[in-house]
Amino acid sequence: MPARGNALKRRIRSSGGKLLRRFGLLPGGMPDGIGDDAALADAALDGDVMVYFPDTQDSLYQLRTWYGPLRELHRAQGVTIVCMDSRTAAALRAEVDLPVVTIALDATLDAIILRSATKLVLYVNYNPLNTAALRSRSAIHVSLLHGDSDKVVSVSNQIKAYDYSFVAGQAAIDRLERYTTLFDAPARCIPVGRPSLDTDRIEATVRADDRLTVLYAPTWEGGQASAAYSSLCTHGLAAVRSLLAAGLDVIYRPHPLTGVRVPEYGDTDRQLGELVESSGGRVSTGRPLQHDFTDADLILCDVSAMMGDWLPTAKPLLITQSADPQSRDAATALLSMSPRLTVAEATSAGNLARDLIEHDLLREERIEMIEYYLGDITPGASLARFLEACARLSTRRDELWARIQDQQRPSADDSV
């Protein structure tokens, strides 16, 4: 009787889960698992490369940073994006002209990778659900992530799950060498620069006026205390009021995940947006990052990938100091040498920003760091390194997999 009762409970939970998935009522961050599995029973994925993205739409910004490079890679080798969430897949189909499928079952995923002879699997984050694809032995697994920064996530032990990691430059390798144990960063990391900066380039534009402008681009609240870098609730309103009082224009670029985890951040985001817009500034959402970089004379940001991406502008930056005593970073030279804004100094951000713009004493030092962080930034160079690295690893995969298959074939002695 108890066994029969447990079986009934499992069926009820299963039926309830299906209904929740079907009507889109699952908690945020949980994929709905509505897959194309039946239609893919005998199908093969297009191309040599699979991008595995099991996340919900909240995290889609992580993949968006790679749209441009992935389009170019699709032309060279063929790319298919595999999702676990049907809502995310629908959004992707509307945004990017790449093949997209949704796979809910591990068995479907295992079989289709083998049937497709997929050479590379790419990942843009460390989602624990990535393990579904990581089980495959027939492909090389590459971590791309969605930015290169001094956040502790950049030196997470999770990097060891991947065969290789594509990083921006030598700074990332040195960071991993310093902060990660039992990981051979020089052997496992391949510097490719920031290919999205190549594909998202814009032509230089003429500013409408000569008013000095500050780009305020805080990060999100973070998933744990050690990665709580956001200045939004601690510095944001005071700093922006100070910038405006100093006669500076403000572009406010909120992080896409702002307020998803902690409602207070969403409330502050709304207040800050209203303040900026009421002062004639711009709240930048869905706008190419390079446009904001072009329009700004200085960036005020947290410890995040914004620091390195901003470097090629050669313009000054001001980095906030987290107010959370539990936060930790994986500091490199840029973070160590850059001016930091504490909570106590937020009310003086305007005068400090104006002084940094008008007397940029660290400009030459930052320019010298560009190659260290990003490699060659000649237009097209980073994209070329990315495509070459993918092609090289695809060839290596073929060689390794052929050797494994040869070893698994029965020998003449086995048939005796």
Q: What is the mean pLDDT of residues 133-152?
A: 96
Distances (CA, A) of 12 to 6, 25, 28: 10, 16, 22
- For residue 185, what pLDDT band results from cuts at 50, 70 and 90? very high
Single-letter amino acid, residue 37: D
pLDDT value at residue 306: 96
Integer Cα distance of 372 and 380 in angstroms: 18
| Higher-confidence position of 318 and 23 | 318
What's the number of CA atoms in the CB half-sphere (13 Å) around residue 226?
10
Residues 322/229, Cβ–Cβ less than 8 Å? yes
CA nearest to 334, candidates 197, 202, 151: 151
pLDDT value at residue 204: 53
| Residue-wise pLDDT tens digits, 221-239 | 887 878 889 999 999 999 9
- For residue 142, what pLDDT band results from cuts at 50, 70 and 90? very high
Residues 161/184, Cβ–Cβ less than 8 Å? no
Q: CB within 8 A of 197, min separation 6: which ones? A: 290, 309, 312, 374, 377, 382
Residues 82/45, Cβ–Cβ less than 8 Å? yes
Helix/strand/coil for 123: strand
pLDDT value at residue 102: 98
Distances (CA, A) of 253 to 194, 300, 381: 20, 10, 28
Q: CB within 8 A of 231, min separation 6: which ones? A: 218, 239, 302, 320, 322, 323, 341, 346
Q: Walk me through the domains of the chain, giving residue ranges and CATH numbers.
A: 27-199 (3.40.50.11720), 213-374 (3.40.50.2000)
| Residue-wise pLDDT tens digits, 62-90 | 999 999 999 999 999 999 999 999 999 99
Copy the structure tokens of residue 366: 């930052």
Residues 54/31, Cβ–Cβ less than 8 Å? yes
Copy the structure tokens of residue 124: 């843009």
| Residue-wise pLDDT tens digits, 102-135 | 999 999 999 999 999 899 999 999 999 999 999 9
Mean pLDDT lowest among 110-124, 163-177, 215-229, 274-288: 215-229
SS3 content of the chain, % helix, strand, coil (to 5): 50, 10, 40
Q: Tell me whether residue 12 is exposed, middle or buried, using C-beta atoms within 10 angstroms of its C-beta: 0 to 12, 13 to 18, 19 or more.
A: exposed
pLDDT value at residue 413: 59
Residues 140/163, Cβ–Cβ less than 8 Å? yes
CA nearest to 281, candidates 290, 273, 270, 289: 273
Q: Is residue 144's pLDDT more than 50?
A: yes
Phi, psi of 228 (to 5 degrees): -90, 85
- For residue 206, what pLDDT band results from cuts at 50, 70 and 90? low
Q: Tell me whether residue 410 is exposed, middle or buried, using C-beta atoms within 10 angstroms of its C-beta: 0 to 12, 13 to 18, 19 or more.
A: exposed
The pTM is what? Answer: 0.89
67-92 in b/e form (b: 16+ CB < 10 A) is bbbbebbbeebbbbbbbbbbbbbebb
| Residue-wise pLDDT tens digits, 13-66 | 333 444 433 444 444 578 999 999 999 999 999 999 999 999 999 999 999 999
Q: Is residue 359's pLDDT more than 70?
A: yes
pLDDT value at residue 16: 41
Query: Among residues of the chain, what percentage have pLDDT more than 90?
Result: 82
Per-residue HEC secondary structure of 255-281 comes to: CCCCCCCCHHHHHHHHHHHHHHHHCCC
Q: Tell me whether residue 169 is exposed, middle or buried, using C-beta atoms within 10 angstroms of its C-beta: 0 to 12, 13 to 18, 19 or more.
A: buried
